Amino acid sequence: MDLPPVGLGTMGIDDPDTVTTAIDAGYRHLDTAQVYENERVVGDAVASATVDREALTVATKLWIDRLAEDDVRPGTEASLDCLGLDSVDLLYVHRPRGDYDPATTLPAVDAVREAGLTTHVGLSNFDPDQLDAARDHLASPVAAHQVEFHPYFRQEALLEDAQRHGYPLVAYSPLAGGQVFDDPTIRAVAEKHDTSPAAVSIAWVTSHDDVVTIPKASSRAHLEANLAAADLELDDDDIDRIDAIEHREELFPE
């Protein structure tokens, strides 16, 4: 998929006005999920948007209790009902857990795509072996893989898989839950460029080939700042300094 460098992560957003503001600010990739319990919020914003539906990439995710073979289509239809859409642009398997079985789940997801309920199929939070197994059972190309990716948690093997197979890695939590705001290295790089630590962290994420990101924000100022951060050009020294940060932390372990 050809996704913009910065989209909107909506986990925790419960006001459609926030999503409407994001669309007005220029966001064109909106990411939600069944487990966020806000698909209706995103759908309300899409319905009231001043841009054409075709201009927006709407993504959602099937939760682990909707991954049994007979639950995939009803689960997808439930999401579409909440979103008020006939189809989504991107449908993810949220995690390879619960009722997930690659041999039965993924053909059912293929069938959903063939029925026109989604244009693209994505995976989320898979490890390299699970990605290989998924490709053995999925007829649809993997259009995107969404994972946690930020300066404190760099999933190099997953990045290599995305680059080798030609799909975007969609990075969630690019600000490490706000921890980058106080990181001395990232603050120093931000001071060098007269910008914010948030902008530096987003720019670092999107500096990787085939990586896009979906930070969450609520205020228009932060929405616009995150969108603009992809235009920040870090030099090799900046990237090397951030790469050398020793702190490692996964915010959303399995």
CB 134 within 8 A of CB 109: no
- Please give the Cα distance from 125 to 231 (Å, whole number): 27
Is 100 tagged catalytic? Answer: no
Residue of 82, 133, 79, 138 lying closest to 109 (CA atoms): 138
- Please give the Cα distance from 129 to 110 (Å, whole number): 20
Pick the catalytic residue from 27, 36, 92, 172. Answer: 36
- Please give the Cα distance from 84 to 158 (Å, whole number): 33
**DSSP label at 99?**
T
The amino acid that residue 3 corresponds to is L
CB 214 within 8 A of CB 7: yes
- Please give the Cα distance from 197 to 185 (Å, whole number): 9
The amino acid that residue 211 corresponds to is V
The residues annotated with a catalytic role in the active site are: 36
